[in-house]
Amino acid sequence: MTVYSTRGLQGQLAGTLGRRILAGTLAEGETIDVDALEHEFSVSRTVVREALRVLSAKGLVDARPRTGTFVRPRTAWRLLDEDVMAWRAENGMSEKLLVELDELRRVIEPAAARLAATHRSDADVAALESALERMKVAFEAHRTTSVSRLAEHVQADVDFHTALLRATGNELIEHMDMMLQPILSFRDNLIPEAQQSEDFIARHTAVVEAVSRGDADGAERAMLQLLTEAAGDLESLYSGPDSK
């Protein structure tokens, strides 16, 4: 996934300002001082304007003649935009937001699993199996050697859910991976491998097996079960002894 924060000076500035807005450092309704940004970041007015144009497209700022550029109300923000999601994840997600994201996934992914079971190709199944195998390898290495393979585990999990969306054969659903990727990455890093039992692998295996055999009902049930138990993992994290 490519985000604007990696695209030149204007992209870096857009990322910095976007994070400030999402964190509340730049408050809703606050006027953005273009001259001050030029000075603070040692960039040209063109760079600042391009950065603000990016943020405007994401609903974060608005530019008006004579009144200048200001931060838009939160209700106008495009919260499901891939860059906005990534910036929010980098700022840290609240428990409420993570719960809402889990609820959103339970709306999208069981239906996606059903479609995947109907429309999957051999290549789609192979992609799911590959991601699952990498999850198994990372999990087993951690279990037997206590050496952290969290980065590999997280990437494999992201690849798994991306492959599932792609297997639906629906381009609109497939593009939801841009929204899910930062969610999954942040969530998986939040919940350590030690808290993910062998059941974590079993849940994903059940999804792959149902999709592979073309069992739409089974795939939907397996994904819903996976997400329900994942929500339980999150609840345990926030209600555990280290949650205070």
Residue pLDDT tens, the chain, 244 long? 444 444 789 999 999 999 999 999 999 999 999 999 999 999 999 999 999 999 999 999 998 888 899 999 999 999 888 888 888 877 766 677 778 888 889 999 999 999 999 999 999 999 999 999 999 988 888 778 766 777 888 899 999 999 999 999 999 999 888 878 777 777 777 776 544 667 889 999 999 999 999 999 999 999 999 998 888 777 776 665 555 4
pTM of the complete model: 0.75
Domains annotated for the chain, with CATH where assigned, are 9-76 (1.10.10.10), 93-239 (1.20.120.530)
Q: Are 165 and 177 in contact (CB under 8 A)?
A: yes
CA nearest to 84, candidates 110, 49, 57, 105: 57
CA distance 30 to 61: 10
